[in-house]
Amino acid sequence: MFEHIKQAQEREATKDSQQLINSMKNNDYLAIAHHLSSLVVAVAAFILIATGINVLGDSNIEVVFGYGLLLVACVVILFHEFNKRKASYIQKYAYLIIKARFVATKYWHADYLAKYFWLGFILLLAVAVFLLKAFITGIDGWASPELYQGKKHSSSVTMVITTASGLLAAQIALFSFMMQQVLSKYSGVVAQNVASHRSFKLLALFPIVGLFVPFLLHNFGAPKSIESLLLPTIGFMLLLGLLITVMVAKTGLSESLAIRYFGVASALDIKRAMPAPIKTTSRSYKNFWRGLHFLGLDFRNKDRFQVIVAPSKGSGVAMESISASLGIANKAALEGQHDVFFSSLMSIEIIMEAYAEKRKLYCSSEDEIFTYLNYQFAALIESISKNPNQYLISNLTSSIGKIAKLTYCIGHIPEELIEDGHRGNSNNLTTALWMGLLVQCFEHTHKLTRSTAAHTSLRQMSELARTSISHKDSDAITLTYLPSVKKVYALCIPQLSDAYHKDLAGVCLSNLMDDLLTISLCRDSLRGTHEDAFEETLKLICNLSKLYLAIDAGGSLALNDPLNIALTKSATDKYCMQEIFFVVANKEITENYSYRVAISDLEKIINSLHEMAVFSIERNVYTSSYYLNALFEVLYIVVRGLPKKFQEHDELEYQERAQYGFNRDRVYTEQSLIELICDKLQDLSSKFYHSERILPDWQQSVFSSLGILIIRYADKEEEFIKNKVIEVVNNYYVLIKSDIDEGNRFHYDSEKYLQLVAAWIKFFNLDRVLTQDIEQLLANITSTRRHGGVRERYGLYGYPTLHHRDFYLYPLENIRHPQIMTKENFRTFSSYGDRLINDDVLMPFAINLENMRNE
Amino acid sequence: MNVDNYKNYIKGILSAVFAYTLIDLFFVILYAAVIGGVFYLYAFLIGDFSLIQNKQILASIQVFFGFYFIAISVTSLNAFIKFKKNFKASTEE
């Protein structure tokens, strides 16, 4: 157990240190943004000042212009100096720097030969500029070709021609070797694509220049100003060109980089082959293109007037590129080339991203490319799952997940085609097919012991579900995701005795909790034709938890059992039911619909907690009291006050009902929720009272709940709270009394908690009769049961103790997120405890009880 | 103002106002050095040192520093006023 706690602590510490590193990186970006922006402003200001002073002269215009520039420089400096201490101002520059860096990194990674192209280009440009400058600055007539034919330059001419020939030979040898030995082994298409890279074209220019220039000089001569400069410069350029050729050939030997580049080049081809459809409603079409059309000058591709189906040329390019990449993937898997396999998958991802970007401009709901890839991947999963290198399938699963998210580009209705502002349902069959593929991945991998693929497929399924939510597609959750989770869970449940499958089942539940949070955040905008996604997800969490507990009620050392997943905040990036309750309660309520949905969801959460708690007690799960802790935390969120929007809508609803003659009492949301939680607590306390194998601390949460309710009654004097508290306490009193009457031994410490709550009821004047009954009962029973061994202050007087301390309110361990519990909230909560546990409240009751016993 | 408050006041001024002023001044000198260095390099490359000895350049540098000193003074004064206001509000609490 301690090992697990240690590991959990290490994981948390790693997250903390990662956060720290991220914040340090952010600070670095802010610092760079500060320095760079300041330097740029300083340089700009200096240039303005220098120009201004330079311009200043005798004429009025010069004076106005000169001083104007100085004024602008002064304003620029003042503006920057004044604003740069504001974080938001510097953050804008930092964001620009991050974006630029991201684009540059993406560019360098995507095109592995680009740097050599730019190197060669700069070299050519530098030579051209150097010669041009020399030519312009010293125009001095024309040198005759005889100079180059004679002794003066003939050796230079020979040397340049030899170097150019050598360079040409080296290029042919190196590039041919590179293409034949490395690239064409996997695919001729890839080799062809790499060979047409611009760096090869540019490098081919070097020997051509090297051969042409001496020829021209030999026959036509040169300008005198560069006559002696030309040949050495060209020679030097050729030598550097040779160096770049060697570097290109060396880098070009990397198969994986070449395959990745193939993806990038194909993506560009797809983008070119799938231009955006022409919108006949646009203003530019109406004015400009119609005019050209009238003149017979509109020669654009007529396929672009089609807005439903994407151009077949684009699909063709995509299909060809994907086929080539799939061929490489298959071959690499057979040969056990992990890096090549990974690169081919990356290449497919890049191609599909480019395709999806263009595909969403067309609204057809069928897509042959995604379907083709789906079928191909299904076959690939089958073959790779038998591969001894079990990491291959993890990579494949990850790629499937990423591509599955792109399926939302299908059936995407362009903005201009939406007339009523309602986009409609964005679901499509293809997404369901890809979810099925992820399930297939899980089916093939959950028995592999040296692969992370099963975990990856679960994570990808959950991420796909969240993508569906972000596209407001509720049906994808209810009809595809939840059944898929059920299927996957069904594979884990029979093998719960095995720690790996236990962990997988836990991950399923954990993912569902995360998805439930996401659904609750986007609840009102979800559109679907079937069941309610929130309700169905909650129900599934409930059912799967029950299924788990039915087979294994022993809990998990890794805190991966249903109770810990749903109810405890064991990691910062994991969300529990209480937090979801808070999110639902604090969501933005804009209209009556969202108000009603929020109330319904809050009630569903409370009912689910109760349902799972009942099942848990029936199964004698030792940690069942977690449900009571959760109910207490949920009650606290309601008791401290729901957002004002609820009260406003409660009032509006009451007025609406009154308008139609339904004159019922006002029922506020807070009241209905408190009553519901009290009912659940009452029912659960009876069940816990009669259970045997549970943590004895369960009474702490129940009486903490009663405590905060009594405080709210003391502050606001709401009658319903008084009634509910009395009802719950009375029920507890009856339980103990019936045990005594029947001669049974009553529940552990129950009389102490009864004494505690009776003291509160008496002090805050809730019910005199009930207090007297309890006093009578306690005076009789404690006469035979003394409190031996207790040393706590109030424990000595018969009040309950917890972990060698007097009773305290349950410390809200799972809702400590700063957005839920502010410092002010903590202070208020702490004051609740002080008001309930003090001499004034507890001592008079205890003394009175002692007197009654002595009588 | 008691001793603790006075200490906090001095610390606040040093960290929230004076530190930034010093940093800004340091960077202005640094920018001037960088710009001057680039200019010197340019003059060296084209072989025309008369650019550096130009009186107008000297005047430009003086104006450049002048503007920066004005800007830093205004910003620091503004930060000082803000700090004083916040400090007063926090001590009254």
Reduced 3-state DSSP string for A493-543:
HHHCCCHHHHHHHHHHHHHHHHHHHHHHHCHHHCECCCCCHHHHHHHHHHH
Per-residue pLDDT band at A285 (split at 50, 70, 90): low
CA A774 → CA A499, A721, A784, A841, A847, distances in Å?
49, 20, 16, 16, 15
SS3 content of chain A, % helix, strand, coil (to 5): 75, 0, 25
Contact B27 A77 (CB under 8 A): no
Q: Reduce the DSSP state of residue A805 to 3 states and report it.
A: strand
Which secondary structure element, helix H or strand E, spans residue A222, and what is its range?
strand A222-223
CB A484 within 8 A of CB A438: yes
Give tens-digit pLDDT for A814-827: 898 888 998 899 99
Looking at the complex, report in whole angstroms how far the Cα of residue A212 sits from the nearest Cα belonging to chain B. 32
Strand segments, DSSP code E, in A505-661 are: none
Are B24 and A81 within 8 A, CB to CB?
A: yes
Q: Is B75 on the interface with A (CB under 8 A)?
A: yes
Q: Is the pLDDT of residue A445 over 80?
A: yes
Q: A833 CA to chain B: closest CA distance, Å?
A: 26
Rounded to 5 degrees, what are φ and ψ at A373?
A: -65, -35
Q: Quick one: what percent of chain A has pLDDT higher than 90?
A: 36
Per the DSSP assignment, residues forming a β-bridge with A222 are A143
* Mean pLDDT, range A389-394, rounded to an integer: 87
Q: Are A331 and A322 in contact (CB under 8 A)?
A: no
- Angle in degrees, CA A716, A719, A724, rounded to 5: 110
- Of A704, A557, A575, A691, nearest to A628 by C-alpha is A704
What residues form DSSP beta bridges with A142?
A223
Q: Categorize the per-residue pLDDT at A1 as very low, low, confident or very high, splitting at 50, 70 and 90.
A: very low
pTM, two decimal places: 0.77
Q: How far apart are the CA of B53 and the nearest CA of chain A, in angstroms?
A: 14
Pairwise CA distance, residues A828 & A815, whole Å = 15
What's the sign of the alpha-carbon dihedral A671, A677, A680, A684? negative
pLDDT at A347: 93
* A660 residue type, one letter: Y
Q: What one-character DSSP code corresponds to residue A81?
A: H
Query: Mind giving me the DSSP string for A359-390?
Result: HTTS--S--HHHHHHHHHHHHHHHHHTTSS-T
> What are the two backbone dihedrals, phi and then psi, of residue A223, each rounded to the nearest 5 degrees?
-65, 145
A595, exposed or middle or buried, with CB in 10 Å at 0-12, 13-18, 19+?
A: buried
A50 touches chain B (CB under 8 A): yes
Q: Which of A773, A837, A828 is nearest to A801 (CA)?
A: A837
| Residue among A49, A78, A85 minimizing CB distance to B64 | A49
Determine the 3-state secondary structure of A473 from DSSP.
strand
Per cent of chain A over pLDDT 70 is 93
pLDDT at site A540 = 94
Q: Please indicate if any CB of chain A lies within 8 Å of the CB of B72.
A: yes
pLDDT at A663: 62
CA distance A745 to A714: 35
Q: Is B68 close to A81, i.e. CB distance below 8 A?
A: yes
Q: Is the pLDDT of residue A828 over 50?
A: yes
All residues of chain B having their beta carbon less than 8 Å from the beta carbon of residue A82 are: 71, 74-75, 78
pLDDT of res. A425: 56
Is the CB of A710 inside 8 Å of chain B's CB atoms?
no
Q: Are A324 and A262 in contact (CB under 8 A)?
A: yes
Question: Residue A420 — very low, low, confident or very high, per pLDDT cuts 50/70/90?
Answer: low
Ranking A135-149, A495-509, A589-603 by mean pLDDT, the lowest is: A135-149
Chain A, 84 to 103: residues with Cβ < 8 Å from chain B are: 85
| Chain B residues in contact with A50 (beta carbon < 8 A) | 56-57, 60
Question: Using one digit for the tens of pLDDT, what is the confidence trace for A539-573?
Answer: 999 999 999 888 877 766 666 788 888 888 877 77
Q: Residue A325 has which token pair? A: 């990449």
User: Of the candidates A450, A498, A461, A466, which has an alpha carbon nearest to the alpha carbon of residue A483?
Assistant: A461
Amino acid letter, A775: E
* Spatial contact of A360 and A409, defined as CB atoms under 8 Å apart: yes
Q: Give yes or no for residue A785 having a pLDDT over 60.
A: no
The partner residue sitting opposite A50, judged by closest CB among B20, B60, B71, is B60
Q: Given this model, what pLDDT does residue A778 score?
A: 85
Q: With contacts defined as CB-CB under 8 Å, which chain A residues touch B71?
A: 74, 77-78, 80-82
Q: Answer yes or no: is pLDDT of A854 > 90.
A: no
CB atoms inside a 10 Å sphere around CB A129: 10
Nearest CB partner across the interface for A43, out of B35, B57, B78: B35
B79 contacts in A (CB within 8 Å)?
Answer: 85
Q: Is A399 exposed, middle or buried (0-12, 13-18, 19+ CB in 10 A)?
A: buried
Residue from A625, A774, A792, A617 nearest A702 by CA:
A625
CB contact B19 to A (< 8 Å):
no
- Cβ-based contacts of B78 with chain A (< 8 Å): 82
Looking at residue A408, what is its pLDDT?
Answer: 85
Q: Residue A591 carries which side chain, given as an amino acid letter?
A: E
- Global ipTM: 0.87
Where are the strands (E) in A224-331, listed by range? none
Mean pLDDT of A583-589: 89
Residues 6+ apart with CB under 8 A from B36: B61
**Whether residue A427 has pLDDT greater than 70:** no
Q: Please give the interface size between A and B, counted as residue pairs whose CB atoms are below 8 Å apart.
A: 58
Contacts of A528 (CB under 8 A, 6+ apart): A425, A427, A473, A474, A475, A477, A478
CA dist list (Å): A498 to A431, A451, A494, A561, A566: 32, 16, 9, 13, 22
User: Which residues on chain A are in Cβ contact (under 8 Å) with B63?
Assistant: 49, 53, 70, 73
Q: CB under 8 Å to B35, separation ≥6 — which residues?
A: A42, A43, A46
Average pLDDT over residues A527-533: 74
* R_g of chain B computed on alpha carbons: 20
User: In chain B, which residues have their Cβ closer than 8 Å to the Cβ of A70?
Assistant: 63
pLDDT of residue A696: 72
pLDDT one-digit tens code per residue, A301-322: 777 777 777 778 888 999 999 9
- Which residues of chain A neighbour B74 with C-beta distances below 8 Å? 78, 81-82
Contacts of B75 in chain A (CB under 8 A): 81-82, 85
Cβ–Cβ below 8 Å for A39 and B34: yes
A784 — pLDDT class (breaks 50, 70, 90) = very low
Of B56, B70, B71, the CB nearest to A53: B56
CB of B67 within 8 Å of a chain A CB? The answer is yes
Question: Could you give the angle at the alpha carbon of A485 between the alpha carbons of A480 and A488, nearest 5°?
Answer: 125
Query: In this complex, do A82 and B68 lie within 8 Å of one another by their Cβ atoms?
Result: no
Does residue A7 surpass a pLDDT of 70?
no
Q: Is residue B16 less than 8 Å (CB to CB) from chain A?
A: no
Q: What angle, rounded to 10 degrees, do the helices at A391-406 and A453-470 form? A: 10
Q: Kindly state whether B33 is in contact with chain A, defined as any CB-CB distance less than 8 angstroms.
A: no
Taking CA atoms, what residue in B is nearest to A43? B35
pLDDT at A701: 92
Q: Using 50, 70 and 90 to split pLDDT, how confident is the model at B1?
A: low
pLDDT digits (tens, 9 = 90+) for B2-37: 777 888 888 888 887 888 888 888 888 888 888 888
pLDDT value at B51 more than 60: yes
d(CA B19, CA B15): 5
CB contacts of B24 in chain A (<8 Å) are: 81
A222-223/A142-143 β-pairing: antiparallel
DSSP state of A325: H
Contact A81 B56 (CB under 8 A): no
Pick from A42, A74, A81: CB nearest B75: A81
Per-residue pLDDT tens digits for A399-413: 999 999 998 888 777
Contact between A507 and A458 (Cβ < 8 Å): yes
User: From CA A195, how far away is CA A843, in angstroms rounded?
Assistant: 92
Q: Please indicate whether, in this complex, the C-beta atoms of B63 and A49 are within 8 angstroms of each other.
A: yes
A77 touches chain B (CB under 8 A): yes
Query: Is residue A262's pLDDT more than 70?
Result: yes
A67 touches chain B (CB under 8 A): no
- Please give the residue that has the higher pLDDT: either A746 or A725: A725
